[in-house]
Amino acid sequence: MVDWNKVAETAMYYWEEFMNWFLTIPLYGQVLVVIGIAAILVLTVILVYYILKGVAYLVYYILKGTYLLLKSIGLLFYKLFEALYYLISGKPRPIKQEQEEQQVFPQVQKEPEVEHIRPVIKEFYELESNAAYCTECGAEFTERMHQQLADRRVAYCAHCGKGFKANIIEVEQY
């Protein structure tokens, strides 16, 4: 039987010895000891994590391999007994749907794909009907502004300076 009082006394003895030693060393030594203990604890936690992760992967892959092995053995027995059944009974094996299609139409071949004709794309610029008046100041567009919209696709109001841009419309022709 374990005497827990003796275990506690032994632990307290070693703790007091450690504290006496720790308090007698200089301050920079104490800081280094604390950093060292923290580093050892962090490394221990990381090591335990990777060990547990490795064990989990090992168990997972062992179970997966066992499952696949049992599955393939079961499939082997199924195919074996199926072959024995058709051999003993004398019945012909049923033909699968894919094999039937290949046997019924062996001479039919796929037609080559026809190349699609691409449309010719032309761009037109539309002058909006509400572009006859400036949306900012309400002034009517001048003939020169209409001409600039048609030529450069950009025009600015002569009164307030607001810019207008012509919209591009793509038209497909075959």
Instruction: Give the count of domains, the chain.
Output: 2
Q: Could you tell me if 126 and 165 are in contact, meaning their C-beta atoms sit under 8 angstroms apart?
A: no
Predicted pLDDT of residue 38: 97
- Residue 115, domain member (yes or no): no
- Residue 114, domain member (yes or no): no
- What pTM did the predictor assign? 0.41
- Looking at the fold, whether 81 and 49 belong to one and the same domain comes out as yes
Successive 10-residue mean pLDDT values, the chain, 174 residues: 92 95 94 96 98 97 97 95 91 74 58 66 53 77 81 83 76 62
The CA distance from 146 to 80, in Å, is 87
Predicted pLDDT of residue 101: 57
- Final residue before a domain boundary, out of 109, 132, 157: 109
Distance set, CA 21 to CA 1, 27, 29, 36, 77 (Å): 33, 12, 11, 16, 72
Distance set, CA 158 to CA 126, 163, 164 (Å): 21, 10, 12
CA-wise closest residue to 158 among 170, 173, 142, 169: 142
Place of tokens 């894919």: 98
In terms of residue numbers, what domain contains 59? Answer: 1-109
DSSP-derived letter for residue 132 is: G
- Looking at the fold, whether 99 and 31 belong to one and the same domain comes out as yes
